[in-house]
Amino acid sequence: MNLEKILLHLKLDGFCVVEGVIPPEDVRTIRHEVEAVMAAQGSADTYEGVSSAFEVLGSIPTFLPYLANEKVMAVAREWFGDHVRISYTGSMITEPGNERGRWHADWPYNQEKAAHVPAPYPDYPFQLSSIWMISKFTDENGGTWIVPGSHRTSDNPTGAIGVPRFEPYRTERHATGPAGSVLLFDSRLWHATASNESNGRRISMIVRYIPWWLDIRVLMPGNPGAPNHGGRAGLAGERDPPVKPEVYERLPETVKPLYRHWVRSS
Ligand SMILES: O=C(O)CCC(=O)C(=O)O
């Protein structure tokens, strides 16, 4: 799919699945790397049967070059200009029979996060979300629930719009694709973790891209300037810790500029 078509789908529908971004031999290796790091890190559970890991960059060497994949970067540059950063990196596994997640939009539109753009927010995509399919995503194994076109609304179910968080929404559909695809979406798009009704794990990498001027220090765990530091606001923050200098040094040269702002200082 060419850039023009991807941009059109993102504008009209709020999402686009680009297939064939990671070749099968790399998908297999990345799958092993992700399963190994998640087993080692113990993974924080968000919902029953769903696990995530955040400090993964040092353990997924085969995935690293894809972080600066030309097609994805072309979209990010088209939206944000030349200077793009990554605001979040995590891996995720949903086990067969996992619990369905809540409808939400990603930061900074998620009204549950301490640092967020208050609704009604302006019609501008502050962030490009991506979910990399390290196993295939199908209706059966719980390809991400999305509501096409919902990015055009100036609020989302984390706010006071009155959409029940755990209930099916009338126009919901699964985002599906073969392993090696990437689901790109406007971070305003309403989405939710689906339940996996298959007998295999659904494995993904989640990466989000922002313009250089968006202040994500508010998301840095332990930052005394963050609005929810010490749990004051009683609202969730993010859990993606800064990158260790030795991990940063081993990143591909194409990827380093995307993380330069997120390197641990001591
Ligand atoms: O599990 C999924 O497919 C969606 C993950 C999600 O909700 C997110 O990345 O914000």
What pLDDT score does 243 carry? 94
> Which phi-psi region, left, alpha or beta, contains residue 78 (left: φ > 0; alpha: ψ -120 to 50)?
alpha
Local structure of 183: helix, strand or coil: strand
pLDDT, tens digit (0-9, with 9 covering 90-100), for 88-125: 999 999 999 999 999 999 999 999 888 889 999 999 99
* d(C-alpha 167, C-alpha 5), whole Å: 32
Question: At CA 241, angle to CA 210 and CA 91, rounded to 5?
Answer: 75
Q: How far does CA 93 lie from the centroid of its chain?
A: 13
What's the Cα-to-Cα distance from 138 to each of 25, 51, 112, rounded to whole Å? 20, 19, 29
**Residue-level pLDDT at 234:** 46
Instruction: Kindly list the structural domains of the chain, giving each domain's residue range(s) and its CATH number in brackets, ordered by start.
Output: 3-262 (2.60.120.620)
Closest CA to 147 of 117, 168, 118, 122: 168
Whether 206 lines ligand 1, by a CB cut-off of 6 Å, is yes
Q: Specify the length of the chain in residues.
A: 266
The best mutation among 48, 86, 92, 104 to test binding of ligand 1, ranked by most ligand atoms within 8 Å of the C-beta, falls on 92
Question: How many angstroms separate the alpha carbon of residue 266 from the centre of ligand 1?
Answer: 31
Whether 209 contacts 185, CB under 8 Å: no
- Mean pLDDT by runs of 10 across the 266 residues of the chain is 97 98 98 95 79 93 98 98 95 95 95 89 96 98 98 97 96 98 98 97 98 86 67 56 94 97 84
Helix (H) or strand (E) holding 76: helix 70-80
**CA-closest residue to ligand 1 atom 3:** 144
